[in-house]
Amino acid sequence: MQVKPFLKRTAYFTGLLMLGILACTYIYCRALPRPIGALYDYRIVTLQIGTDKSLKAYVADTQYTRQRGLSGTRTLPAGYGLLFLFEKPGKYTFLDEGYVFES
């Protein structure tokens, strides 16, 4: 049974389109400023400080990310921090174990 030429072309162009999308996604994701280590999956927000300064922060807003914090992170880009968000106001304990920052 022969495949119709139209179906062959469609499959070929669909494959090329998928490869193009994957390549663009890879290039875009590599361009994002991410630290080496454990923070690759945190969302990033920009915090405005006054009128002339800003800081980018990785957001720890789930129990897992708050518990993990900066553990396993070797570097943090200049001008970046980690913002802990909680559902309710309160006093929370932080433990700084597992940091491996390089100087």
Span 71-81, pLDDT tens digits: 777 778 888 88
Instruction: Identify the CA nearest to 72 among candidates 97, 41, 92, 44.
Output: 97
Segment 48-93, tens digit of pLDDT: 988 898 999 999 888 888 888 887 777 788 888 889 999 999 998 8
Domain spans, the chain: 1-31, 34-103
Instruction: Identify the CA nearest to 4 among candidates 12, 57, 85, 80.
Output: 12
pTM, whole model, 2 decimals?
0.56
